[in-house]
Structure 1
Amino acid sequence: MAYVTGTALLAAFVVGCSADTGTGGSAADSKSGTETVAAAAPGKYRTLPEPCRAVESSTLKDLLPGAAELSEDQQRKVYEGTAAVTYDTDRRVGCHWKSEGSSSSHSLSIDFERVVSYDPEVSDDDRAREVYTKKETAAGLSSPSATPDATESAESTEDTESGDGKGEKKQTPPADSDESSGDASESTSHALTGPTPEGKSTDDENTADGAGTPDESLQPRILDDLGDSAFLDDLLTRAGSTAQHRTVKVVFRTSNVIVTVEYTEQPAVSTAVPDSKELQEKAQALARKLVDEFSE
């Protein structure tokens, strides 16, 4: 009888120890374990197109009319374009074309930037949205996507990139972009809305009538039907009293890629003012073709 009782006690002891050990183990695991966070989705695009082949020859002929006055060999060189120098062609590429004509000169540049997030909790698309918003804000424009938080985050990231080197390396803008070059002697104003240089009148070509009433459709603006987000800027630059040129810039984002198109005209006659409407239409037409290429 005593033997049976001892066995029962031993079994109860073993069961009790097992129960205690199980509970203690679970508590320890719950304290020492870490919560697993799913990595943010990667961007849709892993590569970039060859920039100097991204624009069809027929489009280049339309955008660079001065090339038609050149010999066949010279035309071929113009249409080949010049690739921008970048440190990582998987992340950023660009190309530049220029033609000189008897009445005016034209230049075109395109820039493709593939944005990659190094934060596992931030997707490539979200990071690209921040970078795009910073560009949009710098142009003096705003949209529903340009929230204060997004802008603040973009500015913070830009500071990190150019400062301690812990984030992404700061991208080198392509040659001839307004971010990589500048002349203190130049006076630049956004079409219609910017300041008028001293001694100069507002652009009559950019008005709806001769009274100087601005044509709202030509002002720098958000573009609602181009990629995921897009805007257009129009700048008239005057260098001294003899030279002036107009640059229309179209910037759009499609997933984690940001594309910039810059189209510039400089008349040979100093008193002539490039037509905003024509330049804007051509720049937007090219941007739409580039969007379609990414969509294919």
Structure 2
Amino acid sequence: MAYVTGTALLAALVVGCSADTGTGSSAADSKPGEETVAAAAPGKYRTLPEPCRAVASSTLKDLLPGAAELTEEQQKKVYEGTAAVTYDTDRRVGCRWKSEDPSSSHSLSIDFERVVSYDPAVSDDDRAREVYTEKETSAGLSSPSATPENTKTAEDTKGTEKQTSPAASDDASDPASHALTSPVSEDANTDGTNTDGANNDDANTDDGADASDESLQPRILDDLGDSAFLDDLLTRAGSTAQHRTVSVVFRTSNVIVTVEYTEQPAVSTVVPDSRELQEKAQALARNLVEEFND
């Protein structure tokens, strides 16, 4: 007759009881008092649009008036735009267009940045919100309640000291650059007057300059994407050239979009129309928001 030793019987009973508990190996793996941290939700957008095709031809014709005077082949080249150099098209892309006519030159750039959080406890949206806030602060608009009065820099509060003019370059409209300059320049302070007395009359008398209109000051935009702001900078380069760049930056989920629209008149005494540039830049930004929402 078959039989088992007492030791073997005891081992069999232990195995049977363990199998009946239903706890499995997970109980052994977990540590007392240890909490499981759930990974944050990924961002809404996993890819980015092709930037040089993101702007409709009709919009480009309106923003780049000089192109209308070119030959059909030249117009096609202008409207195709130039893609920004990027090393990861899933994370950042951009495009730039430029046209010239006898009275002025115009340039347009757009930049799409898809923000990804590498912290499992921080969502892509939250990280994108942090990046956007940094840009907003750099533009002097650190609070949703910011107004032209409280966006002045420390230099502005001194009143009698003239700011140093920033060096003018094509980088002002480079889509790869996200470090927006201060909305206050040596040409136009926050109350819309010109700090350079010699050129003050030109800025205030030029048709469409709107230098004293507070509604055109750099500001938070409440009706664009999840959050947005507008920056407006007039820059002089010596005594013969000046250009105005209007920047609209907005966030939609985990993507940050920057639109920069620049006009440089051929005549140094002409001040670019701030209102017109702002309206056109905002209209384009709204179109881009709709494209992301489709």
Normalised to the residue count of structure 1, the TM-score between the two structures is 0.73
Give the SS at the match of 2:42: coil
Which amino acid in 2 is paired with 1:139? A
Gaps of 5+ in 2: 1-12, 22-26, 147-170
Distance 1:145 1:130 in 2: 18
Give deviations 1:61-99, integer Å, cap 9, x for gaps: 000000011111000000000000011100000000000
1:223 partnered with 2:221: yes
Q: In structure 1, what is the equivalent of residue 5 of structure 2?
A: none
Cα 1:63/1:144, change in 2 over 3 Å: closer
Q: In structure 1, what is the equivalent of residue 105 of structure 2?
A: 105
Which amino acid in 2 is paired with 1:77? K
1:50 partnered with 2:87: no
Q: In structure 2, what is the equivalent of residue 247 of structure 1?
A: 245
Gaps of 5+ in 1: 1-13, 147-172
RMSD: 3.5
Displacement after TM superposition at 1:196 (Å):
2.9
Q: In structure 2, what is the equivalent of residue 201 of structure 1?
A: 200
Identity of aligned residues (%): 78
Residues 140-159 of structure 1: pairs in structure 2 closer than 5 A: 140-144=140-144
Which amino acid in 1 is paired with 2:216? L
1:233 partnered with 2:269: no
Displacement after TM superposition at 1:143 (Å):
2.6
Cα 1:119/1:197, change in 2 over 3 Å: farther
Report how many aligned residue pairs link the two structures. 244
Cα 1:209/1:231, change in 2 over 3 Å: closer
Distance 1:285 1:205 in 2: 27
Distance 1:84 1:292 in 2: 23
8 Å contact from structure 1 (residues 192, 206) kept in 2? no
Distance 1:181 1:119 in 2: 24
Distance 2:223 2:178 in 1: 29
Worse overlay, 93-102 or 188-197: 188-197
1:260 partnered with 2:264: no
Which amino acid in 1 is paired with 2:222? D
Distance 1:116 1:224 in 2: 25
Give deviations 1:211-242, integer Å, cap 9, x for gaps: x7x21110000000000000000000100010
8 Å contact from structure 2 (residues 94, 176) kept in 1? no
Distance 1:89 1:40 in 2: 24
Residues 19-30 of structure 1: pairs in structure 2 closer than 5 A: none
Distance 2:249 2:81 in 1: 20
Which amino acid in 1 is paired with 2:253? S
Q: In structure 2, what is the equivalent of residue 136 of structure 1?
A: 136
Displacement after TM superposition at 1:200 (Å):
3.3
Displacement after TM superposition at 1:201 (Å):
1.9
Displacement after TM superposition at 1:192 (Å):
4.1
Q: In structure 2, what is the equivalent of residue 77 of structure 1?
A: 77
Q: In structure 2, what is the equivalent of residue 34 of structure 1?
A: 34
Give deviations 1:125-155, integer Å, cap 9, x for gaps: 0000000000000000123499xxxxxxxxx
Cα 1:73/1:87, change in 2 over 3 Å: same
Normalised to the residue count of structure 2, the TM-score between the two structures is 0.73
